[in-house]
Amino acid sequence: MGGNIGKNTQTTPDNYTSDYVTCFNALHPYVDYFVLNVSCPNVGSHAKLNDKDYLLELISTVKKANKTFGKEKPILLKIAPDLNDVQLDEIIELVNETKLDGVIASNTSVDRSGLKASEVQLETIGNGGLSGQPVKEKSTQVIKYLSEKSNKAFPIIGVGGIHSAKDALEKLDAGATLVQIYTGFIYEGPGLIKKINKAILKQA
Ligand SMILES: Cc1cc2nc3c(=O)[nH]c(=O)nc-3n(C[C@H](O)[C@H](O)[C@H](O)COP(=O)(O)O)c2cc1C
């Protein structure tokens, strides 16, 4: 069981780190690994959460907190599907420099391109993270880029638009070592997990 932690929407930039540390300390006894979620489109202020220097500071503070417990838990970073190549290169540097345990790619997207809904409909729906099939390809490309560019230096958990066993295998082919489902679980139901596991076993 993973503990996915982030900052609250109302938190001011000076207090972001303390939000993460509070959640980290409270959850530490109960989870097997942690996810630093720096990519939720609903909590605002992404400039700081995309800044490499800030992320270095955040990760080192959380790692320090990790050392205060008897058993250190693995820590992964969860990133957006909307990062450009320069930003993805920075993520690779960051993971290598801080010896993070891996990356989860990806969160939901703020990009609305390629959707069937009209501009007016999208305006009415408003802001928020887009999940499911529309983010599938973007998240796969992020996984592929990170895996190839880093030379598979760290584990990647693939998530984004997995609605079938084939989608899960695509994530693994792109370089993911594990997969997660969220929207697919809602639309396809729990049977999707069995289908994915069977397909993976068939390939092994
Ligand atoms: C309603 C909803 C709530 C979510 N909440 C979180 C969250 O709290 N933390 C997080 O890291 N990702 C959150 N996500 C992102 C999902 O975990 C996942 O990364 C993303 O939706 C892409 O996968 P999917 O296409 O299988 O949904 C949320 C997604 C949805 C749709």
Task: For 8-33, write each residue's pLDDT tens digit.
Answer: 999 999 999 999 999 999 999 999 99
Whether residue 72 is predicted with pLDDT greater than 80 in this model: the reply is yes
Whether residue 56 is predicted with pLDDT greater than 80 in this model: the reply is yes
The one-letter amino acid code at 95 reads V
Whether residue 50 is predicted with pLDDT greater than 70 in this model: the reply is yes
What is the mean predicted confidence (pLDDT) over 99-105? Answer: 98
**C-alpha closest to that of 132 among 103, 160, 92, 91:** 160
Q: Which atom of ligand 1 is nearest to the CA of 106?
A: 19
Between the CA of 131 and the centroid of ligand 1 the distance, in Å, is 7
Q: How far apart are CA 196 and CA 1, in angstroms?
A: 19
Phi, psi of 198 (to 5 degrees): -60, -45
Peptide bond into 18 cis (omega under 30): no
What is the mean predicted confidence (pLDDT) over 46-63? Answer: 92
Query: Is the C-beta atom of 147 inside 6 A of ligand 1?
Result: no
Phi, psi of 177 (to 5 degrees): -105, -20
Structure tokens at 202: 């068939």
Which stretches within the chain are classed as H helix? 16-27, 46-49, 52-67, 85-98, 119-125, 133-150, 165-174, 183-188, 191-203
Split at pLDDT 50, 70, 90, the class of 114 is confident
Query: Is the C-beta atom of 54 inside 6 A of ligand 1?
Result: no
Q: Report the percentage of the chain scoring pLDDT > 90.
A: 90
- SS3 (DSSP) at 157: strand
Q: Which atom of ligand 1 is nearest to the CA of 183?
A: 27
Q: pTM for the complete prediction?
A: 0.96
Q: How far apart are CA 6 and CA 38, in angstroms?
A: 7
Whether residue 45 is predicted with pLDDT greater than 70 in this model: the reply is no
Output the pLDDT for position 47. 81
Output the pLDDT for position 79. 96
Query: Is the C-beta atom of 109 inside 6 A of ligand 1?
Result: no
CB of 58 within 8 A of CB of 14? no
Output the pLDDT for position 115. 93
Q: List, in sequence order, every residue forming a beta bridge with 77; answer none if it has no partner.
A: 36, 103
Whether residue 44 is predicted with pLDDT greater than 80 in this model: the reply is no
What domains are there in the chain, each with its CATH number? Answer: 2-203 (3.20.20.70)
Tokens 């703020």, residue? 110
Residue nearest to atom 21 of ligand 1 (CA): 131
Tell me the CB-side half-sphere exposure of residue 79, using CA atoms within 13 A. 33
Q: How far apart are CA 15 and CA 69, in angstroms?
A: 23
